[in-house]
Structure 1
Amino acid sequence: MTRITEEDRFILEQSLFLPMVLTIFNRDLSVIQNSPFKLKDPYIHLIEEAMKRVQKDLYVVKQKMRERKMKAVEVERDEAFTLFSFIYKGYEEKHNYFNPRIRNEVLSMMEKYLFG
Structure 2
Amino acid sequence: MPALKNEVIPYLENMIYLPMILTILEKDRLLIEKGDFKLKKPYLGLLDSVATCVHKELGNTAAYLRMNQLSVIKGRMDDIFTEYIFLHDHQEERRRYLNVRLRNRTEELLTQYLRQPGI
Q: Return 5+ residue gaps in structure 1 as ranges.
A: none
User: Which residue is equivalent to 1:96?
Assistant: 96
User: Which residue is equivalent to 2:73?
Assistant: 73
Q: For this pair of structures, how many residues does the alignment match? A: 116
State whether structure 2 residue 45 is matched by structure 1 residue 48: no
Identity within the alignment, %: 31
TM-score normalized by the length of structure 2: 0.94
- Determine the C-alpha separation between the residues in 1 that align with 2:98 and 2:26: 24
Deviations 1:52-77 (A, max 9, x none): 00000000000000000000011111
- Determine the C-alpha separation between the residues in 2 that align with 1:68 and 1:23: 26
Let me know the Cα RMSD of the aligned residues. Answer: 1.0
TM-score normalized by the length of structure 1: 0.97
User: Which residue is equivalent to 2:17?
Assistant: 17
Would you say the 8 A contact 1:81–1:99 is kept in 2? yes
Aligned-pair distance for 1:2?
Answer: 6.0
User: Which residue is equivalent to 1:109?
Assistant: 109
